[in-house]
Each structure stands twice: as structure tokens, then as C-alpha cells.
Structure 1
Amino acid sequence: MSPRTTYLDKGVGRAMSALSAAAKKGLADPVLAELVMMRASQINACAFCLDMHVDLAVQAGESAKRIALLNAWEEAGELFGERERAALALTEAITVLTDGFVPDATYEQAAKHFDEAELAHLIGLIAVINSWNRLMVSRRIEPGGYTP
């Protein structure tokens, strides 16, 4: 599959990048941020974003084993901690809105592990990665083109 277009308006790109940076800044754990972005990208089948965030997760210290098992995080036992599982569940609920609204139990579980500001940043990060996924998938941007 070749890209439909590689053009992205500079204003849109800068605004999205600024939103990404602002959301990430509010999360103290860069590995958790990358897990969330990888999981949303898996669900949305965004190869470009998944490729990029795997690289960034490795740079942040994430293990190959956890990256490989991220798609099955619910079945991975204690490989992912409670805080990570709460964030991943929230990621899935926000990403797959076709299943309905974010369930109260999912939100409440995340709220147990994140203070109000962190939770707001986590939700912002999930929203922005979903937007990036849609920008890249709709334009068919292939993996491998990311450079820091």
C-alpha cells in the first residue's frame, strides 16, 4: 500500500505535536505513556504510530517481552501492574467508542491510580494518539518514516 498523500498542513502538525507534548508532560512515567500510545495504535491498526512508539518505548526502557505481549495485556498476568492495566483499560474504552461510552467502572479504576491532573493528561494523551492514528491511517502513511 502506498501513501495517498504525505502532506500534512504545518499548522495542524505543529498543533498536534504541541498537544502530544502537553499531554505527555503531565504523565511522570514515559514508559506508561508509550504503552498507552502503542495500545491505541494496535487497536487502530496504525503501523506508522505503532512503529514509532515501539522505538520510543524501547528508548524509555520498555522490555521486548512486554511490548510483544501488550496486545494481550489482560491475559499477561502480573506482567503489567495495576496502574498500567487501569490505563490500558481506559485506553481501550476511549479508543473503541463504538462499544458505547466509557464505562463508569473503567473510569473509576483509572481514577484510583491517577490523581485528577494525571487522569486529565492520560485522557488527553489517549485522545491525541487516536487523532494521530486517524491522520496516519487515512493517508496510508507507512511505518519506518519516523525520525526524532
Structure 2
Amino acid sequence: MSRTQVLDPRVGAAMSALSAAAKRGLGDPVLAELVMVRASQLNHCAFCLDMHLRLAREQGVGEQRLGLLAAWEEAGDLYSERERAALALTEAVTVLTAGFVPDEVYEKAARHFGEAELAHLTGLIVAVNGWNRIMVSRRTAPGECRP
């Protein structure tokens, strides 16, 4: 099987279902795209980064916010407290530098998201990390799977 061969439809359907359920439960498409862009940046997934930048623009996210997303901590009030909490959790779950998500990062997110929202946010972060790893391992090029 070549790296560029199509993903098994059952795996793709399961991943798509997880992504869709998490996004739907989060209920904020802009926040969802910011999270997916940031995880894709951290994972160096050009395919997912290309796709989620396009989707973020479709959701009305401006170029300044997209361009500064990699430096969100230094971007002042360009991102809301809620967005910053979600981005911090995204980085902690994606990188797992200490082998776990630091309590203060999780607690900050829990202050901005209800229990169900936090579960969906975490599910979304897990889903995008899974997609990133699939696409990076397959070396899927940006735009390769567009209709």
C-alpha cells in the first residue's frame, strides 16, 4: 500500500464522525477552526493547515488573527480569553511536553467551557491530532483531497 493510497473508508468515517460530533457539541465554528489550525501548525501538517485556514476564512476569521495564531500568547486582546484558554489546551494536549496536561491549563479551560463543551473541545483536539498524524504519515500534500 502506498502512502498516498486512500484511507480505509471505515477509518475515515470514524474519524469524520468524531470530528463532526466534537465540532457540533462545541457549537462555535470559529473557535473550532482556530483550534484545528493551531494543532495543525504544531504538528506540521500542511494538508490540514491548508484546509483549516480555508475553512477559518469561510467562517469569517480575518487574516491578522490567522497570521498571528502561532503567536497567540503575545497577540494581546486579538484573541478572547475563551479562545486563549482553548488554544492553551490545544497546545498542552497536542505537545504533551510534561507527559500530561498541566492542571492550570485544564482549570483555565474549565472556567471558560462547561463540562459538555470541555469534553467536545478535548474531543476536537484529539480528532485534529489524529487527522494530522494520518495526513503527515501519508505525506498528503495541501489541496490533494479537494473535490
Q: TM-score, normalised by structure 1?
A: 0.95
**1:74-133 superposed Cα distances (whole Å, 9 cap, x missing partner):** 000110010000000000000001332100000000000000000000000000000000
Shift of residue 4, structure 1, vs aligned partner: 2.9
Mapped to 2, the partners of 1:41 and 1:81 lie a distance apart of 20
Name the amino acid aligned to 2:106.
Y
Mapped to 2, the partners of 1:143 and 1:6 lie a distance apart of 15
After TM superposition, the structure 1 = structure 2 runs for residues 28-43 of structure 1, keeping only pairs within 5 Å, are: 28-43=27-42
8 A Cα contact 1:86 1:109, kept in partner: yes
After TM superposition, the structure 1 = structure 2 runs for residues 4-15 of structure 1, keeping only pairs within 5 Å, are: 4-15=3-14
8 A Cα contact 1:6 1:141, kept in partner: no
Mapped to 1, the partners of 2:93 and 2:85 lie a distance apart of 12
Residue 101 of structure 1 is matched in structure 2 by 100
Residue 113 of structure 2 is matched in structure 1 by 114
Name the amino acid aligned to 2:34.
L
Indicate the SS of the match to 2:26.
coil
Residue 45 of structure 1 is matched in structure 2 by 44
Residue 90 of structure 1 is matched in structure 2 by 89
- Which portions of structure 1, spanning 4 or more consecutive aligned residues, are displaced by more than 6 angstroms? none
- Aligned pair count? 146
Mapped to 1, the partners of 2:29 and 2:55 lie a distance apart of 9
Mapped to 1, the partners of 2:98 and 2:70 lie a distance apart of 18
Identity of aligned residues (%): 70
Residue 25 of structure 1 is matched in structure 2 by 24
Residue 137 of structure 1 is matched in structure 2 by 136
Name the amino acid aligned to 2:124.
L
Shift of residue 146, structure 1, vs aligned partner: 4.1
Indicate the SS of the match to 1:14.
helix
Mapped to 2, the partners of 1:93 and 1:129 lie a distance apart of 14
Mapped to 2, the partners of 1:145 and 1:86 lie a distance apart of 32
Residue 62 of structure 1 is matched in structure 2 by 61
Q: TM-score, normalised by structure 2?
A: 0.96
Shift of residue 28, structure 1, vs aligned partner: 1.8
Name the amino acid aligned to 1:48.
F
